[in-house]
Amino acid sequence: MSLLVTGSIGIDTVRTPYGLSEDCLGGSAVYFSMAASFFGPVRFVGVIGSDCPFELARVFVGRGVDLAGLEVRRQSRTFRWAGTYSENMDDRTTDSVELNVLAEEPPKVPEVFADSRYVFLANTAPALQHQLLEQIREPRFVAADTMNCWIQGHTDDLKALLKKINCLIINEDEVRMLADEYNLILAGRKIQAMGAPIVVIKKGESGSLLCGADGKQFILPAYPATEVKDPTGAGDSFAGGFMGYLAQQERTDFETLKTAVAYGTVVASFTIADFSLQGLSAINKSDIDGRFEDLRKLTNF
């Protein structure tokens, strides 16, 4: 299997009702890679500035994350984000954003990564996602993430991207915005009509909805987590578990997609239990499999 992710590496400051985590490691590619690494090797493509205080080789030691695609720009600064979560942990306010290297040219995909079969294009401008995808020769399954600012300001680029990918992973507010449809099932169908044959809609504590080809659908509740300290990175961890399982199985039929959604759900439930990567770094694959079986039993009737 060959699974590639391209996305952000960030320096985050996160405030929740459970505390404050200042200048901690974050970013979509980081959360995705940590989550996907439980299932197999990951090829990492991203860019940081010279100010980045984190040694990613040490963060991912022993986890099969190939950092050949990590670019350090000596004259640039690393992406920074600060946010505050409300008491209900669903509503989040962005306090500050410094795009820094993310406002520059995207990193190059190393030639040794160009044969990647499974690809995740984490949240960034659709035009940049296009550029990165064009560097992969013959991908078998490509999933992408997006957000409201790209939906509102880069609609044409995003719709063009949908015709080149296999799966869009998106939250419920964003899918309603993109489809201009409140009903999630109808919204999912509209996105499919735009080009992406598979749509995974994340609904936070309400679980997720998988819209597959030929009208097939699958609904799964969230894992009933009792510890929720920091939701940052939950969506990228979901994507990491989802794509990691697909790449491990080397299959993308509907039954495998359903299982991948369940693994993504479980992995995300560990992420939210602590700040930054602490929830994921404290577990192993057996912990994930155990919670997966618990979820299977809870949803079997």
What is the tens place of the pLDDT at every residue in 236-293? 999 999 999 999 999 999 999 999 999 999 999 999 999 999 999 999 999 999 999 9
- Rg (alpha carbons) of the chain, rounded to whole number: 18
210 pairs with which residues across the strands? Answer: 200, 218
Decide if pLDDT at 198 tops 80.
yes
Q: Report whether 226 contacts 89 (CB < 8 A).
A: no
- Return the closest-CA partner of residue 119 out of 35, 249, 7, 258: 7
Backbone angles phi, psi at 211, to 5 degrees: -105, 105
Name the pLDDT band for 88 (thresholds 50, 70, 90): confident
Decide if pLDDT at 1 tops 80.
no
Name the pLDDT band for 125 (thresholds 50, 70, 90): confident
Backbone angles phi, psi at 144, to 5 degrees: -140, 155
Residue 257: CB partners within 8 Å, gap ≥ 6?
A: 198, 210, 212, 218, 246
Torsion sign across C-alpha atoms 227, 229, 231, 237? negative
Name the pLDDT band for 91 (thresholds 50, 70, 90): confident
How many folded domains does the chain comprise? Answer: 1
What is the tens place of the pLDDT at every residue in 103-120? 899 999 999 999 999 999
- Return the closest-CA partner of residue 55 out of 67, 38, 41: 67
Question: What does the pLDDT read at residue 63?
Answer: 95
DSSP, collapsed to helix, strand or coil, labels residue 247 as helix
Compute the distance between CA of residue 48 and CA of residue 53 in angstroms, rounded to an integer.
10
**Structural domain that includes position 210:** 3-298
Both tokens of residue 113? 């990564």
pLDDT average, residue stretch 172-194: 96
- DSSP 8-state symbol, 40: S
The CB density around residue 173, as the number of other CB atoms within 10 Å, is 14
Phi-psi region for residue 215, left (φ > 0), alpha (ψ -120 to 50) or beta?
Answer: left
CATH number where 110 lies: 3.40.1190.20
Name the pLDDT band for 153 (thresholds 50, 70, 90): confident
Question: What does the pLDDT read at residue 149?
Answer: 82
Both tokens of residue 239? 């994507």
Both tokens of residue 154? 């880069």
Burial of 194 (0-12, 13-18, 19+ CB in 10 A): middle
Compute the distance between CA of residue 40 and CA of residue 128 in angstroms, rounded to an integer.
26
Both tokens of residue 20? 């404050």
Residue 252: CB partners within 8 Å, gap ≥ 6?
A: 140, 141, 166, 246
List own/partner pairs for 129-132 with CB under 8 A and 24 or more apart: 129/161, 130/157, 130/160, 130/161, 130/164, 131/106, 132/6, 132/45, 132/106
Decide if pLDDT at 186 tops 90.
yes
Question: What does the pLDDT read at residue 14?
Answer: 95
pLDDT average, residue stretch 178-195: 96
Question: What does the pLDDT read at residue 232?
Answer: 94
Decide if pLDDT at 301 tops 80.
no
Provide the b/e sequence for 113-129 (b: ≥16 CB within 10 Å). beebbbbbbbbbbbebb
Question: What does the pLDDT read at residue 124?
Answer: 84
pLDDT average, residue stretch 128-140: 94
β-pairing verdict for 65-73 and 42-49: parallel
Question: What does the pLDDT read at residue 24?
Answer: 96
β-pairing verdict for 79-85 and 92-98: antiparallel
- Work out the percent of the chain whose per-residue pLDDT is above 90: 86
This prediction has a pTM of: 0.95
Name the pLDDT band for 92 (thresholds 50, 70, 90): confident
